[in-house]
Amino acid sequence: MYTILICDDDRDIVSALDIYLTSEGYQTVKAYNGREALKAVEQREIHLILMDIMMPELDGIRATAKLREENNVPIILLTAKSEDTDKILGLNIGADDYITKPFNPLEVIARVKSQLRRYTSLGGSEKSTGLITVGPVSMDDSAKRVTVDGEPVALTPIEYNILKLLISHPGQVFSSAQIYEQVWNDPAYGSENTVAVHIRHLREKIEIDPADPRWLKVVWGLGYKMEKGGA
């Protein structure tokens, strides 16, 4: 059974999410600010976090950044429509997705299930596809391990799956919409910014110079690709 941490300073929202998630068979842990969320993650195994952005004591952005120092658990931000800049910032520091308030319960459940599928797939349930190497970047999908020049790199589930898609098809260009549909398994409406943020974050982890990437390339007006090349 999966355990989901719900963190929001609005207790009515926490209660509503608790009802939605427990009705689907999930266990829940409740927190009302970022500090309580960090403490909850230290105390027990959490499989996914729903995190509000605007909270007292420690907001969702700073809590997400702190969590990403040593934890790759999926994080879905809960945001208001007016918080577009914070959405992008949150994705840039490691959040996997966001849901805009007021939210549809069906959307919440769908996004939770989608993120959990990706997270558990990193545990090794998929059939091995062998070792794939492009330049200094190697992916061992059987071990769910990525290295750059032999050094292990910690990726979030979203980053891992984007890299897996691109590195499995070196030289092939994927549009933002194609990446979003295959990685998020959702329709790609307004997906460009979300994909771009995760690509940028991925470059910071696998490129020597993220501002002038050698391997993870943008093809202007078309999309992204991994360059072909040996180690």
Domain ranges of the chain: 3-123, 126-226
Mean pLDDT (whole number) for 127-154 = 81
Take residue 194 and report the two structure tokens written for it.
């979300």
Query: How far lies 72's CA from each of 84, 104, 120, 130, 155, in Å?
Result: 23, 26, 12, 23, 7
More confident residue, 222 or 81: 222
What average pLDDT score do residues 165-193 get?
86
* Nearest alpha carbon to residue 167 among 116, 211, 228, 83: 228
Give the mean model confidence (pLDDT) for residues 6-26. 95
Judge: domain 3-123, CATH 3.20.20.70: no
Assign 229 a pLDDT band (cuts: 50, 70, 90). low
State what percent of residues in the chain have pLDDT above 90: 53
pLDDT at 200 over 90: yes
Q: Taking Cα atoms as reference points, which of 144, 150, 148, 161 lies closest to residue 204?
A: 148
Q: Kindly indicate the confidence band of residue 231, based on its pLDDT and cuts at 50, 70 and 90.
A: very low
How would you classify residue 195: left for phi > 0, otherwise alpha for psi between -120 and 50, otherwise beta?
A: alpha
Query: Is the pLDDT reported for residue 155 higher than 60?
Result: yes
What's the chain's average pLDDT?
Answer: 87
Predicted pLDDT at 128: 39
- pLDDT tens digits, 30-50: 999 999 999 999 999 899 999
Topology annotation, domain 126-226? Arc Repressor Mutant, subunit A (1.10.10)
For residue range 85-120, what is the model confidence (pLDDT) as tens digits? 777 888 888 888 889 888 898 989 998 998 888 777
Provide the pLDDT confidence category of residue 143 given band limits of 50, 70 and 90: confident
- pTM beyond 0.85: no
